[in-house]
Structure 1
Amino acid sequence: MNILLTNDDGIMAPGINILAEELSKEHEVLVVAPDVERSATGHAITIRTPLWAKEVRVGNKEIGYAINGTPADCVKLGLLAISNVEIDLVISGINRGPNLGTDILYSGTVSGALEGAIMEKPSMAISLAEWNNPKYETAALFVVEFLKRFDIKNIPEFTALNVNVPSLDPVDVKGWKVTRQSRRRFRDYFEKRKDPYGNNYYWMFGEVVEDDPGEDSDYAAVRAGYISITPIYAFMTNFDFMEKIKKDLRG
């Protein structure tokens, strides 16, 4: 397959490079990723400044193209301008840290995959649910095995797979679970501080709220040692509530 690979941690991040190396053993991989970390940029795109694509090499090895934009920019540019072949699959990751519950609304990683879905390509977002000791190899090996067992052409249009991998050795992963997006979210607060000139500034902090413990939820699966695979959709209409509004307005 021809795979377009992006992320939000930046083109030099270990996650994307380990994944590119593993995928390149069996597939053609084009890396188009942000030049620096673009975490929590959501689905932002660049419309008022030009985008530069710089070829990156480490020693004699070509890494890919570094873009001065967001993950969604990278996918657009990769599909529409840089690639000279038909891309079969868009993968965003491997992200350092989980993308569970409402994380997907903020995540540049997930937005990279959703941009691929919007552009009518089978797409996946891959995140490793660990900050301090990420075992990227576990997630990379999962992707390679998943692509052997699952026909990506079966992913419906405008849909992406949001995958979260526990940071365990491969032998300790219990398996895969198809899950739903949970209500996992953050309860945010700001800490007020003063700079040396007496001006106020604020740091945002947050506490994770996990009050949706059903076995089919994304974070419950990861916590239990399973890889979570959640189909997510680019369109967010609440159809049940839409019908209720229609009924209420009819009186």
Structure 2
Amino acid sequence: MAEKGVKVFGMWASPIAIRVEWALRLKGVEYEYIDEDLTDKSDALLRYNPVTKKVPVLVHDGKPIAESTIIVEYIDETWKDGYPIMPADPYERAQARFWARFAEEKSWMQQTILMAGLDMYTLQCNPALYPAFTTTGEAQHKVVQEAQQCLKTLETALDGKKFFGGDAVGYLDVVVGWYAHWLPVIEEVSGASVVTDEDLPLLKAWFDRFLAVDVVKATLPARDRLLAFNKARREQLLSA
């Protein structure tokens, strides 16, 4: 008999894998969650994603889909009658994808957090991104300024709206939503201060609104555990 149902292969500290859970919960789709040890990946993960061997992976009726943004769009298209994640208007969909791509490709901060907490052995990152998490002083200050400029550009997509999706959470909120929970942890661990009321007021206010959404709150890892995890990872990187 063919495998039925929905499975998500993730990692509890991953700010990227959680996107898949948010999308499924917004749609009201039941799923089985499998937490991976990225230092000892399961045979199932390697079988379902032999190309990149990374999380997240969505398995729907035995068919695997990899890469978080692709998975989120697949979820929206597959469960059409549920909560709308992508905008209905083609132009607005294109804009959401544009900003998502901008956040994925331009936000070196995302890469820094990935380096800090995820699969160092399969992730290729620009070495110039290390200072935000692994250094202090002037080097870190320069990197933080670059991050703020990137986020100020992204913040323009929030102008006049509660969420990036408008009055409700949408595709771009799902893609960049991890900023709201993970970035304050990284700021505390590294001593950096990136998103403030003074420098990025719209984004800071969005943090609070996004974290108050029920499906978001239900899936967030405990802050204390995430803090300890990233402290240990930073110490490991600093001593390397």
Structure 1-normalised TM-score?
0.26
Larger Rg: 1
**Structure with more of its chain in strand, by fraction:** 1
**Structure with more of its chain in helix, by fraction:** 2
Structure 2-normalised TM-score?
0.26
